Protein backbone atom coordinates (compact mmCIF):
# COMPACT_ATOMS: atom_id res chain seq x y z
CA UNK A 1 0.00 0.00 0.00
CA UNK A 2 1.34 3.42 -0.93
CA UNK A 3 1.62 6.40 1.36
CA UNK A 4 3.81 5.04 4.15
CA UNK A 5 4.83 7.85 6.45
CA UNK A 6 8.28 8.08 8.04
CA UNK A 7 8.16 6.29 11.41
CA UNK A 8 9.07 8.18 14.54
CA UNK A 9 8.77 6.18 17.74
CA UNK A 10 9.83 7.64 21.07
CA UNK A 11 8.22 8.83 24.29
CA UNK A 12 6.94 11.93 22.49
CA UNK A 13 5.46 9.83 19.66
CA UNK A 14 4.80 6.42 21.18
CA UNK A 15 2.16 5.35 18.67
CA UNK A 16 3.70 6.65 15.45
CA UNK A 17 1.92 8.65 12.77
CA UNK A 18 -1.74 8.23 11.96
CA UNK A 19 -4.70 9.68 10.08
CA UNK A 20 -7.45 9.02 12.63
CA UNK A 21 -8.08 7.17 15.86
CA UNK A 22 -11.54 5.65 16.30
CA UNK A 23 -13.49 3.50 18.67
CA UNK A 24 -15.52 0.91 16.84
CA UNK A 25 -17.55 -2.18 17.44
CA UNK A 26 -19.03 -4.85 15.25
CA UNK A 27 -22.66 -4.54 14.26
CA UNK A 28 -22.60 -7.86 12.46
CA UNK A 29 -24.90 -10.28 14.32
CA UNK A 30 -22.53 -13.19 13.54
CA UNK A 31 -19.89 -11.50 15.72
CA UNK A 32 -22.35 -10.26 18.34
CA UNK A 33 -23.54 -13.85 18.79
CA UNK A 34 -19.94 -14.82 19.71
CA UNK A 35 -20.17 -12.35 22.62
CA UNK A 36 -16.90 -10.78 21.56
CA UNK A 37 -16.19 -7.32 22.85
CA UNK A 38 -15.44 -4.83 20.11
CA UNK A 39 -14.99 -7.32 17.32
CA UNK A 40 -14.31 -4.52 14.84
CA UNK A 41 -11.27 -6.20 13.24
CA UNK A 42 -13.27 -9.32 12.47
CA UNK A 43 -16.09 -7.17 11.08
CA UNK A 44 -13.70 -5.24 8.81
CA UNK A 45 -12.21 -8.51 7.54
CA UNK A 46 -15.72 -9.80 6.78
CA UNK A 47 -16.49 -6.57 4.93
CA UNK A 48 -13.33 -6.83 2.81
CA UNK A 49 -13.92 -10.49 2.03
CA UNK A 50 -17.64 -10.29 1.32
CA UNK A 51 -17.26 -7.25 -0.94
CA UNK A 52 -14.56 -9.04 -2.94
CA UNK A 53 -11.89 -6.47 -2.04
CA UNK A 54 -9.62 -9.27 -0.78
CA UNK A 55 -9.67 -13.01 -1.45
CA UNK A 56 -8.27 -14.19 1.88
CA UNK A 57 -7.09 -13.30 5.34
CA UNK A 58 -3.99 -14.55 7.13
CA UNK A 59 -4.47 -14.65 10.87
CA UNK A 60 -3.22 -16.60 13.85
CA UNK A 61 -5.27 -19.50 15.01
CA UNK A 62 -4.72 -21.15 18.33
CA UNK A 63 -3.52 -24.70 17.81
CA UNK A 64 -2.96 -26.20 21.23
CA UNK A 65 -2.67 -24.43 24.55
CA UNK A 66 -1.13 -21.05 23.76
CA UNK A 67 0.63 -22.13 20.59
CA UNK A 68 -0.49 -20.54 17.38
CA UNK A 69 -0.22 -21.14 13.68
CA UNK A 70 -0.70 -19.04 10.59
CA UNK A 71 -4.16 -19.72 9.24
CA UNK A 72 -5.40 -18.85 5.78
CA UNK A 73 -9.08 -17.95 5.95
CA UNK A 74 -10.85 -17.81 2.61
CA UNK A 75 -14.47 -17.71 3.71
CA UNK A 76 -16.38 -15.59 6.23
CA UNK A 77 -16.95 -18.75 8.28
CA UNK A 78 -13.21 -19.34 8.51
CA UNK A 79 -12.61 -15.71 9.55
CA UNK A 80 -15.22 -16.11 12.28
CA UNK A 81 -13.63 -19.38 13.35
CA UNK A 82 -10.22 -17.72 13.82
CA UNK A 83 -11.75 -14.76 15.64
CA UNK A 84 -11.89 -16.79 18.84
CA UNK A 85 -8.09 -16.80 19.12
CA UNK A 86 -6.36 -14.20 21.21
CA UNK A 87 -4.08 -13.15 18.41
CA UNK A 88 -1.76 -11.00 20.42
CA UNK A 89 -0.83 -13.90 22.68
CA UNK A 90 0.17 -16.44 20.08
CA UNK A 91 3.33 -15.68 18.11
CA UNK A 92 3.41 -17.23 14.68
CA UNK A 93 5.82 -16.77 11.86
CA UNK A 94 6.33 -20.31 10.72
CA UNK A 95 3.95 -21.04 7.91
CA UNK A 96 3.42 -17.40 6.99
CA UNK A 97 5.52 -17.57 3.84
CA UNK A 98 3.92 -20.85 2.85
CA UNK A 99 0.45 -19.29 3.17
CA UNK A 100 1.47 -16.26 1.14
CA UNK A 101 2.94 -18.43 -1.59
CA UNK A 102 -0.32 -20.32 -2.00
CA UNK A 103 -1.68 -19.81 -5.55
CA UNK A 104 -5.12 -19.20 -4.00
CA UNK A 105 -3.82 -16.02 -2.42
CA UNK A 106 -3.69 -13.00 -4.68
CA UNK A 107 -4.89 -10.14 -2.50
CA UNK A 108 -4.87 -10.76 1.21
CA UNK A 109 -5.18 -9.00 4.53
CA UNK A 110 -2.68 -9.92 7.22
CA UNK A 111 -3.49 -9.67 10.92
CA UNK A 112 -0.59 -10.04 13.30
CA UNK A 113 1.72 -8.49 15.85
CA UNK A 114 3.63 -5.20 15.52
CA UNK A 115 6.93 -7.01 14.88
CA UNK A 116 5.32 -9.07 12.12
CA UNK A 117 3.79 -5.92 10.62
CA UNK A 118 7.27 -4.37 10.57
CA UNK A 119 8.73 -7.44 8.87
CA UNK A 120 6.05 -7.44 6.17
CA UNK A 121 6.22 -3.69 5.64
CA UNK A 122 9.98 -3.88 5.13
CA UNK A 123 9.46 -6.71 2.65
CA UNK A 124 6.97 -4.58 0.76
CA UNK A 125 9.32 -1.61 0.74
CA UNK A 126 12.47 -3.57 -0.11
CA UNK A 127 11.36 -6.77 -1.87
CA UNK A 128 13.91 -9.49 -2.46
CA UNK A 129 13.84 -11.34 -5.75
CA UNK A 130 13.55 -14.86 -4.38
CA UNK A 131 10.94 -14.15 -1.76
CA UNK A 132 8.83 -11.36 -3.16
CA UNK A 133 5.44 -12.49 -1.97
CA UNK A 134 4.74 -9.20 -0.23
CA UNK A 135 2.91 -7.78 -3.27
CA UNK A 136 0.04 -10.10 -2.39
CA UNK A 137 -0.54 -8.26 0.87
CA UNK A 138 -3.23 -5.65 0.41
CA UNK A 139 -3.65 -4.63 4.02
CA UNK A 140 -1.60 -5.06 7.20
CA UNK A 141 -3.49 -4.95 10.48
CA UNK A 142 -1.47 -4.98 13.68
CA UNK A 143 -2.89 -5.81 17.07
CA UNK A 144 -1.71 -3.92 20.13
CA UNK A 145 0.96 -5.94 21.91
CA UNK A 146 2.76 -5.69 25.24
CA UNK A 147 4.59 -8.96 24.62
CA UNK A 148 4.23 -12.66 24.01
CA UNK A 149 5.11 -15.42 26.38
CA UNK A 150 7.83 -18.01 26.36
CA UNK A 151 5.00 -20.49 26.18
CA UNK A 152 6.48 -23.52 27.91
CA UNK A 153 7.88 -21.69 30.92
CA UNK A 154 4.69 -19.66 31.37
CA UNK A 155 2.57 -22.80 31.26
CA UNK A 156 4.90 -24.44 33.78
CA UNK A 157 4.43 -21.45 36.05
CA UNK A 158 0.64 -21.62 35.73
CA UNK A 159 0.76 -25.27 36.64
CA UNK A 160 3.14 -24.78 39.57
CA UNK A 161 1.30 -21.80 41.01
CA UNK A 162 -2.33 -22.41 40.13
CA UNK A 163 -2.54 -26.12 39.36
CA UNK A 164 -3.78 -25.31 35.86
CA UNK A 165 -3.02 -27.96 33.26
CA UNK A 166 -1.78 -26.48 29.95
CA UNK A 167 -4.48 -28.26 27.98
CA UNK A 168 -7.17 -26.70 30.20
CA UNK A 169 -6.18 -23.13 29.31
CA UNK A 170 -8.57 -21.95 26.62
CA UNK A 171 -7.46 -18.37 26.18
CA UNK A 172 -5.56 -15.50 27.78
CA UNK A 173 -6.64 -11.90 27.50
CA UNK A 174 -4.96 -8.71 28.64
CA UNK A 175 -7.50 -6.57 30.48
CA UNK A 176 -6.01 -3.32 31.69
CA UNK A 177 -3.20 -4.36 34.09
CA UNK A 178 -4.48 -7.90 34.53
CA UNK A 179 -4.19 -11.14 32.65
CA UNK A 180 -7.44 -13.00 32.40
CA UNK A 181 -6.74 -16.73 32.13
CA UNK A 182 -9.81 -18.46 30.74
CA UNK A 183 -9.76 -22.17 31.48
CA UNK A 184 -12.19 -25.03 31.20
CA UNK A 185 -13.50 -24.60 34.73
CA UNK A 186 -13.72 -20.82 34.83
CA UNK A 187 -11.53 -17.74 34.83
CA UNK A 188 -8.48 -16.62 36.79
CA UNK A 189 -7.22 -13.05 36.98
CA UNK A 190 -3.57 -12.39 37.76
CA UNK A 191 -1.59 -9.19 37.86
CA UNK A 192 0.29 -8.64 34.61
CA UNK A 193 3.50 -7.98 36.56
CA UNK A 194 3.37 -11.62 37.66
CA UNK A 195 3.71 -12.74 34.05
CA UNK A 196 6.49 -10.33 33.05
CA UNK A 197 9.35 -12.78 33.82
CA UNK A 198 7.84 -15.15 31.23
CA UNK A 199 7.77 -12.70 28.36
CA UNK A 200 9.98 -13.51 25.37
CA UNK A 201 13.29 -11.74 25.96
CA UNK A 202 13.05 -9.88 22.66
CA UNK A 203 9.73 -8.38 23.74
CA UNK A 204 11.37 -6.57 26.64
CA UNK A 205 13.36 -4.39 24.23
CA UNK A 206 10.52 -3.87 21.76
CA UNK A 207 9.17 -0.29 21.86
CA UNK A 208 6.17 -0.72 19.55
CA UNK A 209 2.84 -1.15 21.33
CA UNK A 210 0.42 -0.40 18.50
CA UNK A 211 2.20 -1.54 15.33
CA UNK A 212 3.44 1.63 13.67
CA UNK A 213 4.24 -0.16 10.39
CA UNK A 214 0.69 -1.40 9.89
CA UNK A 215 -2.03 0.19 7.79
CA UNK A 216 -4.48 -0.22 10.65
CA UNK A 217 -3.59 -0.82 14.30
CA UNK A 218 -6.23 -2.25 16.57
CA UNK A 219 -6.76 -3.27 20.14
CA UNK A 220 -9.31 -3.31 22.87
CA UNK A 221 -10.03 0.11 24.34
CA UNK A 222 -8.71 0.39 27.90
CA UNK A 223 -11.73 2.58 28.65
CA UNK A 224 -14.66 0.81 27.02
CA UNK A 225 -15.84 -2.34 25.28
CA UNK A 226 -14.99 -0.85 21.89
CA UNK A 227 -12.06 -1.70 19.63
CA UNK A 228 -9.61 1.14 19.10
CA UNK A 229 -8.70 1.53 15.42
CA UNK A 230 -5.73 3.64 14.35
CA UNK A 231 -5.69 4.32 10.62
CA UNK A 232 -2.26 5.18 9.29
CA UNK A 233 -2.93 6.15 5.68
CA UNK A 234 -5.80 7.35 3.49
CA UNK A 235 -6.73 3.96 2.05
CA UNK A 236 -6.85 2.39 5.51
CA UNK A 237 -9.05 5.24 6.69
CA UNK A 238 -11.36 4.77 3.70
CA UNK A 239 -11.64 1.03 4.40
CA UNK A 240 -12.69 1.70 7.99
CA UNK A 241 -15.22 4.35 6.97
CA UNK A 242 -16.60 2.17 4.18
CA UNK A 243 -17.01 -0.76 6.58
CA UNK A 244 -19.04 1.58 8.78
CA UNK A 245 -21.01 2.85 5.76
CA UNK A 246 -21.88 -0.72 4.81
CA UNK A 247 -23.16 -1.42 8.33
CA UNK A 248 -20.41 -3.79 9.44
CA UNK A 249 -19.17 -1.58 12.27
CA UNK A 250 -20.29 1.33 14.40
CA UNK A 251 -17.64 4.04 14.47
CA UNK A 252 -16.86 7.24 16.32
CA UNK A 253 -13.75 9.27 17.04
CA UNK A 254 -11.84 8.03 20.07
CA UNK A 255 -12.45 9.99 23.24
CA UNK A 256 -9.64 12.02 24.77
CA UNK A 257 -9.65 9.56 27.68
CA UNK A 258 -9.13 6.60 25.33
CA UNK A 259 -6.40 8.37 23.37
CA UNK A 260 -4.62 9.29 26.60
CA UNK A 261 -4.82 5.67 27.74
CA UNK A 262 -3.36 4.37 24.46
CA UNK A 263 -0.58 6.96 24.54
CA UNK A 264 0.18 5.99 28.14
CA UNK A 265 0.47 2.29 27.21
CA UNK A 266 2.67 3.25 24.25
CA UNK A 267 4.95 5.31 26.49
CA UNK A 268 5.08 2.50 29.02
CA UNK A 269 6.38 0.15 26.33
CA UNK A 270 8.91 2.67 25.02
CA UNK A 271 10.22 3.22 28.56
CA UNK A 272 10.40 -0.54 29.14
CA UNK A 273 12.47 -0.94 25.97
CA UNK A 274 14.83 1.84 27.12
CA UNK A 275 15.25 0.14 30.47
CA UNK A 276 16.08 -3.30 29.07
CA UNK A 277 18.17 -1.94 26.20
CA UNK A 278 20.31 0.03 28.60
CA UNK A 279 20.79 -3.15 30.65
CA UNK A 280 22.15 -5.11 27.67
CA UNK A 281 24.24 -2.37 26.04
S1 LIG B 1 6.36 -7.21 22.21
FE2 LIG B 1 7.21 -6.64 20.21
S3 LIG B 1 8.61 -8.31 19.68
FE4 LIG B 1 7.24 -9.07 21.31
S5 LIG B 1 5.55 -10.06 20.22
FE6 LIG B 1 4.90 -7.95 20.67
S7 LIG B 1 5.47 -6.79 18.84
FE8 LIG B 1 6.58 -8.75 18.73
Residue nearest to atom 1 of ligand 1 (CA): 147
| Cα 56 from Cα 184, distance rounded (Å) | 32
206 C-beta closer than 6 A to ligand 1:
yes
C-alpha distances in angstroms, 101 versus 75, 82, 97, 169, 250? Answer: 18, 20, 6, 33, 34
Per-residue pLDDT tens digits for 58-111: 987 766 656 667 889 999 999 998 875 554 445 556 677 788 888 889 999 999
Residue nearest to atom 4 of ligand 1 (CA): 203
More confident: 167 or 15: 15
Q: What letter would DSSP give residue 174?
A: E
pLDDT exceeds cutoff 90 at 239: yes
C-alpha distances in angstroms, 4 versus 7, 13, 147, 201, 232? Answer: 9, 16, 25, 29, 8
Answer yes or no: same fold for 20-148+206-269 and 149-198.
no
CATH, range 149-198: 3.10.450
Per-residue pLDDT tens digits for 20-50: 999 999 998 888 666 556 799 999 999 999 9
* CA 88 – ligand 1 centroid, Å: 9
pLDDT cut 90: percent of the chain above it: 48
* CA 38 – ligand 1 centroid, Å: 22
Residue spans per domain, the chain: 20-148+206-269, 149-198
pTM of the predicted model as reported, rounded to 2 decimal places: 0.88
54 C-beta closer than 6 A to ligand 1:
no
* CA 274 – ligand 1 centroid, Å: 15
* CA 165 – ligand 1 centroid, Å: 26
CATH: 1.20.1510, 3.40.640, 1.10.287, 3.40.50. Which one for 20-148+206-269?
3.40.640
117 C-beta closer than 6 A to ligand 1:
no
Amino acid sequence: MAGVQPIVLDVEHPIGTYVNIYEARALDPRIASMRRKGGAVTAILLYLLEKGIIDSVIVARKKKGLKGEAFLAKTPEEVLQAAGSKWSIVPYTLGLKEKLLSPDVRKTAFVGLPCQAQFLRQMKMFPLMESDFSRKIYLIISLFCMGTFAVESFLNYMHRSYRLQPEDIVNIEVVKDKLLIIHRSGELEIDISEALPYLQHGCLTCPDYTGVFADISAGRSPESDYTVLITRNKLADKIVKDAAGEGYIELHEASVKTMDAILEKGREKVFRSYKYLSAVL
